[in-house]
Structure 1
């Protein structure tokens, strides 16, 4: 069996490290495959790899293609960037083996018999074990990645070149150096934020109090709202024309909040609070309309008190209730119950769910 292996795409920060591993694996795999019978339906199997770099678009599925003139079947796969962090040769070799197996699965069934496929899979496993036991004298490390950010910390561009010698002008873009261990988390956070957040919410404990700090886009402004949970807090309005400027303001507020110890609370950590009352059976049309009005009222109330939000409601089996997801049940229950007494919904009560 004639089997080759090479890198086809990599970034300057990862090329040497990936190439070192792939070349060692390729040499051992070619040697291991040489005694095996030739492939029946093509002359050579060529594994071709790209580095799945966090700064680039997420990789697609492994794929295969046949080159008739060269009688070669190309099996293309992606290497996991994380395996090259640190100095573990076995992890790097394992990543090449895993990418090889995924690429092998992309070889058309009409081109590779089950016996040939099983043989190549076995060779990959054997070679991975052998190469893992023979690390080079010195591992090639991953390099740093440079990102350009606005003054507020919003990502602008990515570079793999040398550090700039010029200094950023005040108010202009700045260059940030990401060491390999920080690259993955940086770009994951970047994608999660979608670069254009419409709203951010943060909380932190301070003694017995729970504080909130949030911001959202409203027309041509960014509204900043901060205070103690259960109280209406202080509102500031920042004029911001256009999505880029609005994103800068939102991200600057988020950065200030994080620096001050605030954190975003994921939805799975929110507590469930019900605002409910008894009804007859499944209720009437008027009951349903009233429940919808209650949901709107609670969504506004919990938002302005920094407590959370209303997540809809339900009716049936002799009761109707609105469901709120809140950052702290005790604080929210006290604040909502207080406000209900002077509202059109003073016949509703606050309670925990029974489920």
Structure 2
């Protein structure tokens, strides 16, 4: 049975996309040029397996999601997916040969994720040897210019607290300001997160008058999930809850909510423009 080997990149950190593409594309070219992309497997061991897809993951250490080796299998396309992380700080400080080595070692380490029930030890050793040989060839094709790593941007609220990060300086989002983090400063964020979420600060309210009624839409964050509440004032509204995995998802959810509300004719009203009703009881 023929088995196809393929490669992908996991763009968690878009500021490194060009540099990861530069290495991965060269590695793939040499793999296809010098080595056959298909292998003969024992039909009994590799039953219903048509391909292995190796994926390299590279993300800035400021990201709160921990990078791990992982694997999965898609029955519909009969493909194993194996993913391995690349050390970010080593990558941005490395020259061409170092980046090729990091990429190659990521792929080799991911081989161990393939199940023993489907792939023999001899097959894994053969694949490891091929990756090593292809890596040596790839180092010979150093580009005229090494792809640069772009900075990222920390979003801070009016109190200076970190709310999110992104790859573009998104100023004026909920009154946030962008702080530039250069690649050379990435090491400072290893093993720690700058984010301090305050759900009382992350709460937005939008209102709309419509034929004698007032409609509302609200969104707030409690540190784990975004809650969206909407309805008509004076009536029981509806609630939707969306789990948030990281700061990027938080930024996406808040921006989408605001864009939809404003597009539907709602307006944000600050607390200073609201009337308060105080209820006292014994």
Aligned to 1:181: 184
Is 2:117 the partner of 1:106?
no
Matches within 5 A, 1:272-351: none
Q: Distance in 2 between matches of 1:27 and 1:114?
A: 26
Instruction: Give deviations 1:86-116, integer Å, cap 9, x for gaps.
Output: 4601111111111112211111111111110
* Structure 1 residue 53: Cα displacement: 2.2
* Structure 1 residue 85: Cα displacement: 1.4
SS class of match (2:179): strand
Is 2:163 the partner of 1:156?
yes
SS class of match (1:46): strand
Mind listing any 5+ residue stretches in structure 1 that lack a counterpart?
197-355
- How many residues align? The count is 190
Is 2:85 the partner of 1:83?
no
The answer (yes or no) to whether the contact 1:146–1:161 under 8 Å persists in 2 is yes
The answer (yes or no) to whether the contact 2:162–2:195 under 8 Å persists in 1 is no
Aligned to 1:50: 57
SS class of match (1:135): coil
Tell me: higher relative CO, structure 1 or 2? Use CA pairs within 8 A at least 6 residues apart.
Answer: 2
SS class of match (1:177): strand
Aligned to 2:80: 73
- How has the CA–CA distance of structure 1 residues 107 and 55 changed in structure 2, closer, same or farther, with 3 Å as cutoff? same
- How has the CA–CA distance of structure 1 residues 190 and 77 changed in structure 2, closer, same or farther, with 3 Å as cutoff? closer
Instruction: Give deviations 1:306-332, integer Å, cap 9, x for gaps.
Output: xxxxxxxxxxxxxxxxxxxxxxxxxxx
Is 2:5 the partner of 1:3?
yes
- How has the CA–CA distance of structure 1 residues 178 and 30 changed in structure 2, closer, same or farther, with 3 Å as cutoff? same
* Structure 1 residue 28: Cα displacement: 1.8
Q: Name which of structure 1's ranges 59-68 and 43-52 shifts more when overlaid on structure 2.
A: 59-68
Aligned to 2:280: none
Q: TM-score, normalised by structure 2?
A: 0.59
Q: Distance in 1 between matches of 2:176 and 2:52?
A: 47
* Structure 1 residue 146: Cα displacement: 0.7
* Structure 1 residue 153: Cα displacement: 4.8
The answer (yes or no) to whether the contact 2:155–2:170 under 8 Å persists in 1 is no
